[in-house]
Chain A
Amino acid sequence: MEQAVTLLIILPWILALAVFLSPNHRLRQVLTFLSLPILTYLAYMVWSSDLPYFIETPHWVELGITVFDYFLLGYFLYQGFKFRSFLVSVLAIAQIFLLTWVLLILPHSITPSIYVDRLTAFMYLIVATVGSIICIYATKYMEQENVERENRFVAILLWFLGVMNFAVSVNNLEWFFALFETTTLASYILIRFRWDEISIKNAIRALWMNQVGGIAILIGILFAVKYYSVYNFTDILKINAAAISMIPLGFLSISALVKGAQMPFHKWLLGAMVAPTPVSAILHSATMVKIAPYLILRISPVIKGTLLAKLLITTTGFVFVAAGLLALTQDNFKRILAYSTISLLGLMMLTASMGSSIAVLASLLLILFHAVAKALLFLEAGIMEKVFHVKYIEQMRRLIEKAPITVFFIALGFMSMTLVPYGIFIAKWITLEEASKFLSHGAYIASIIFITIGGVILALLYFKVIGVISRKRGEFVSFKPEKLPFLYMITTGAYVLFTIIGSLFIAHLSSDFINLIVKDISGEFANVKASGLTLITPVSQLYGWQIVGAIILLMVVPIFAYFVHFKADKVYEYTCGENIPLNIGTYNFFCVSKIEPFIETTAVALFVLTLVLGGGLV
């Protein structure tokens, strides 16, 4: 057990080193491929062992992390000077100062620094499966981009998996800061990877924005030590929630919001789009941004029902809608995906901050299914870039004629984020039902409005894109699937399979698997049951035949659509007799950009409110 956790953290680093040093492309591919079975096996070992579990660490690890912290911050400072970024340097100096202060006042604690519960094991599983598959994909992707730097690229991705595993297993807030900043470093290096001007600019921006999150954690630790004299997650959770001061938790939530790229800190995640596509895939699905809902879930039992939670619900709900609106104005496929990630991260944090057992269940379902759906979509974005050379929606016109399989996968990915009966929809559905119970408070009514409006805006967005790619000139004469490289097919295919099967068995998945995690987080099982495929919630039921019916409607229909040929006379489109060139664009919703300043102002205001009122700073 202890060995398994240690291996989960160390092994990706070793593999990364091996990949970095190996001279041969094939060898690197094999090494990367090894990560999938090994990490999955280890994560499964941890999952099936007796949890929750504390792990004592020797003293030198603590010392090592402190030294590492200073090296890391020193490196940030150096980068700030090197690229003449005032913000990065100042924030690095502030961090060094605050870190020293923290280290000086940190009381001795006997609580072990590593804490592995079901939530941690759940994150391990996501990192091991979703993350490793992206790394495997990356070997093929780099083959088509730049083989010389492949070793470096894949090594960083693998190393990132180890960092993520470490970050979700720490209990000590000071270590958490170290790991938080290490993910910042990893994202900085990855975004900078192409070394052109815009990459560096965006990487610097990502760096300073995430440093703000780091500073929030440090201040949070200072206040935690001042008010509670403890600085471990488990100790904070033990304090009586009614008597607790919210300031440290307010700062922790702020750092989660920053890491989760919530507005107005969303720009760093958008900037990350300049990096090679596997970077975006791994940032959005398995690592990095998932720290945000993870952190909120960790503290959710304490903040549940407080003003902080209500303000967090309002803030993230607002982001859910606003990011969706801004996504409508985008033309770049990857940026659309990025905005929809920001939006859905808002939803994950919204449900996490509600904190009731069913809301936590919804949040976990969202994390799981969003990881898979986003990984799938980003891999498809990479395929379109490398195989079909399209990046913009406008270039994707009539893609269905050239690439039916890719279009089918993209459509599935999009549908899995909005429609019945896919996992994300089901999470949304149980959240709506849960929020309906608390209509006495404005934040919960707001959350219902936000969830529905945001949901339809995202549906509008996705169908806009599906519409463009599915437009075509005439009949399918014969079904010609495009030839995709084997690795591309197998990686994306795995995600597609999971989305379908996971959604089909959603009832058992949530009542037998996710519910164990809910128990560890909120102390009680969520009241959902499965009978056959039917999902039974306290107030309602989603029948098995509805799930199966919807999957048949959604899955069989697009497949059928290629093969069904009606006997009817073919005609051209009716254009009222006008002779117009048939080259139709799509709605770009420029009208939305007018309200962008308003959105940003509101987002800033909500941030400040969350910190000041929710954190109880006044």
Chain B
Amino acid sequence: MSKELSLILTLLSPVIGGLIYGFERIVRARMQNRQGPPLLQPFYDFLKLMDKRSIMIHSFHAFMGIMYLVGTWFSLYVLLSGGDILIAIFFHVLSLAFLVVGGFSVRSPYSVVGAMRELIHMLAYEPIFVLTAAGLYLVTGTFQVSELLKTDTVPILSLPLVFIAFILSLPAVLKKSPFDIAEAHQEIIGGPEIEYSGKFYEAVYTAKWIEYIYAFFFVFLFAGSNYLLGAILVVLSFFIVNLIDNSTARVTFRQMVSFHWYILIPLVVINLMLLALWRA
């Protein structure tokens, strides 16, 4: 990907992410046999939020919400500009750190509990992301996204179990059921986002759209230079994630962590071991 294209894509990512989010709401509604909101609904929400009276707890908290947006955007740019996958993953941790510190900085029980759960989310899915990166390296011989998109091999053929594990960890990344414990509306009323409103909530909201692109870009990488296959994989995983979201109920954080650690990580490891065996 050329520098200009990656820059343009990164700048447009909130729009693309918003469209994906709008599309997702329609898909989910159809799965539940409802009509659903129009495609542009997220942008209507956006405009409405911009227009709201801006209220906040204190500036530090609001500022951290904005930094969450900037950090996520930055990590997406690292990915799109052809940087190192591991670096992108750790930049994403950095952006989450802002959200978490923001969540902690107010004296609201919901926000604090939500921030803590956000960290536990990270505990669950982070190893799978890094192991996925290691798996992609094992197949393609590079950690650079720019090189990965040019490689002749199709990583998913050698990494089917890694791919399955990665897809199953997406609900935790995107805070979807059954792993939406960080912002469980029925229990903690939105978690770390609860105290944001108006423009400041807007920042957090947009960051979530960008996170969509960030997560699905990894799925795209599984196809290597075969962009068509990549697009198919993204669409497929998008439907699977939404199907899981619609058909499951929330679990506890212990179940989430043990699912990731005891089922998904071994799945990845088995794939890597078999691959190493195959090579040797």
Q: A419-B93, A539-B137 are in contact. Are A456 and B126 (CB under 8 A)?
A: yes
- The answer to whether the Cβ of A568 comes within 8 Å of any Cβ in the partner chain is yes
Report if A467-B101 is in contact (Cβ < 8 Å); known contacts: A419-B94, A569-B55. Answer: yes
Partner of A448, one of B53, B97, B131: B131
Assess whether B86 is in contact with A568, with CB atoms less than 8 Å apart: no
Residue pair B116, A587 in contact (C-beta under 8 Å): yes
Q: Is the CB of A470 within 8 A of B104?
A: yes
Number of A-B contacts (CB under 8 A): 208
In the bound assembly, the distance between CA atoms of A264 and B221 in angstroms comes to: 42
B238 on interface, CB distance cutoff 8 Å: no
B104 smallest CB distance to A (angstroms): 3
Cα–Cα distance between A474 and B105 once the two chains are bound (Å): 10
Beta-carbon contact of A420 and B265 below 8 Å = no
CB distance from A495 to the nearest CB of B (A): 21
Nearest CB on B from A558, distance (A): 9
Closest 4 CB pairs of A and B: A467-B104, A573-B108, A440-B276, A568-B54
- Known contacts being A550-B94, A576-B189, is A473 close to B87, with CB within 8 Å? no
**A residues within 8 A CB of B62?**
566, 568
Does A553 contact B67, Cβ atoms closer than 8 Å? Answer: yes
| Chain A contacts to B: CB under 8 angstroms | 415, 418-420, 425, 429, 432-433, 435-436, 439-440, 442, 445, 448-449, 451-453, 455-457, 459-460, 463-464, 466-468, 470-476, 539-543, 546, 549-550, 553-554, 557, 560-562, 564-576, 580, 582-584, 586-587, 591
Complex contact A553–B74 (CB within 8 A): yes
Residue contacts A-B, CB under 8 angstroms, 19 given: A440-B277, A442-B273, A445-B272, A456-B126, A456-B127, A460-B122, A463-B119, A466-B101, A467-B100, A471-B112, A540-B144, A541-B83, A546-B83, A561-B63, A568-B62, A569-B53, A573-B107, A573-B108, A574-B110
Q: Decide if B194 is an interface residue (CB 8 Å cutoff).
A: yes
A554 CB contacts on chain B under 8 angstroms: 94
**B161 touches A (CB below 8 Å):** no
Interface string of B140-157 (1 = CB under 8 A from A): 011110000000000000
Q: Does A420 contact B91, Cβ atoms closer than 8 Å? A: yes
Binding site for A on B (CB under 8 A): 53-60, 62-64, 67, 70-71, 74, 78, 83-84, 86-87, 90-91, 93-94, 97-98, 100-101, 103-112, 115-116, 119-120, 122-123, 126-127, 130-131, 133-134, 137-138, 141-144, 189, 194-195, 198-200, 254, 261, 265, 269, 272-273, 275-277, 279-280
Q: Shortest CB–CB separation between residue B41 and chain A, in angstroms?
A: 24
With A and B bound together, what is the CA distance between A415 and B144 in angstroms? 25
Would you call A439 and B275 a contact (CB within 8 A)?
A: yes
Q: Given the complex of chains A and B, what is the CA–CA distance between A572 and B111 in angstroms? A: 13
Q: Provide the bound-state CA to CA distance between A485 and B137, in Å.
A: 51
Q: Which residues of B contact A586 (CB under 8 A)?
A: 112, 116
Complex: A561 Cα to B101 Cα, angstroms = 12
- Residues on B with C-beta less than 8 A from A473 are 107
CB distance from B155 to the nearest CB of A (A): 14
Nearest to A435 among chain B residues (CB) is: B134
A573 and B130 in contact, given A425-B90, A471-B106 (Cβ under 8 angstroms): no
Q: Which of B115, B137, B199, B261 contacts A467 (CB 8 A)?
A: B115
Whether A542 contacts B63 in the complex (CB less than 8 A), given A419-B90, A566-B56, comes out as no
Contacts A440-B279, A539-B143, A540-B142 given; does A561 touch B55 at CB 8 Å: no
Nearest neighbor of B104 in chain A, beta-carbon distance? A467
- With a cutoff of 8 Å between Cβ atoms, the chain B residues found around residue A566 in the complex are 54, 56, 59, 62-63, 200
Question: Which residues of chain A have C-beta atoms less than 8 A from B108's C-beta?
Answer: 573-575, 582
Across the two chains, which residue of chain B brings its CB closest to A569?
B55
Not counting A419-B90, A564-B63, A566-B56, a sample of 11 additional A-B residue pairs whose C-beta atoms are within 8 angstroms of each other reads A436-B143, A449-B127, A467-B103, A467-B115, A470-B105, A566-B62, A567-B54, A568-B200, A569-B53, A569-B56, A571-B57
Assess the A553–B122 pair: CB atoms within 8 A. no
Contact of A436 among B119, B138, B261 (CB under 8 A): B138
- Minimum CB–CB distance from A489 to chain B (whole Å) comes to 23
| Interfacial chain B residues near A455, Cβ < 8 Å | 126
Residues on B with beta carbons closer than 8 Å to the beta carbon of A468: 104
* A476-B60 contact in complex given A456-B127, A540-B143, C-beta closer than 8 Å: yes
Tell me, rounded to whole Å, the shortest Cβ–Cβ distance linking A184 to chain B: 37
Determine the chain A residues whose CB is within 8 A of the CB of B59 once the complex forms: 475-476, 561, 564-566
Check if A571 sits within 8 Å of B60, measured CB to CB.
Answer: no
Q: Closest chain B residue to A576 by CB distance?
A: B189
- Neighbouring A residues of B273 by C-beta, 8 Å: 439, 442, 445
Q: List the B side residues contacting A591 at CB < 8 Å.
A: 254
B90 touches A420 (CB 8 A): yes
Partner of A568, one of B56, B71, B112: B56
Known: A546-B87, A550-B91. A472 touches B105 (CB 8 A): yes
Write the chain B residue with the least CB distance to A420.
B90
Give Cα distance in the complex from A439 to B120, angstroms. Answer: 27
Most buried by B among A464, A467, A539: A467
List the B side residues contacting A466 at CB < 8 Å: 101, 104
B122 contacts A584, CB within 8 Å?
A: no
The residue in B74, B104, B261 that gathers the most chain A C-beta atoms within 10 A of its C-beta is B104
Among candidates A448, A467, A569, residue contacting B130 with C-beta atoms closer than 8 Å: A448
Q: Are B119 and A464 in contact (CB under 8 A)?
A: yes
Q: A553 is contacted by which of B71, B126, B130 (Cβ under 8 Å)? A: B71
Does the CB pair B276–A453 fall under 8 Å? Answer: no
- Complex Cα gap A475–B61 (Å): 10
Residue pair A574, B195 in contact (C-beta under 8 Å): yes
- Name the residue of chain A whose CB is nearest to the CB of B71: A553
Contact A463 B55, beta carbon cutoff 8 Å: no
Contacts of B141 in A (CB 8 A): 539
Cα A425 to Cα B261 with chains together (Å): 23
Q: Contact between A433 and B143 (Cβ–Cβ < 8 Å)?
A: yes
Contacts A557-B98, A566-B56, A568-B62 given; indicate if A573 touches B106 (C-beta within 8 A): yes
- A573→B109 CA distance, assembly (Å): 9
Contacts of A460 in B (CB 8 A): 119-120, 122-123
Q: In whole angstroms, what is the CA distance A554 to B189 when docked?
A: 29
CA distance A586 to B112 in the complex (A): 8
| B54 neighbours in A (Cβ, 8 Å) | 566-569
In angstroms, Cα B111 to Cα A573, docked, is 9
Contact A568 B90 (CB under 8 A): no
Q: How far apart are B98's CB and chain A's nearest CB, in angstroms?
A: 7
Assess the A449–B265 pair: CB atoms within 8 A: yes
* Least Cβ–Cβ distance between B18 and chain A, in angstroms: 24
Q: Give the docked Cα–Cα distance between A586 and B111 (Å).
A: 12
Q: A456-B127, A568-B198 are in contact. Are A467 and B112 (CB under 8 A)?
A: yes
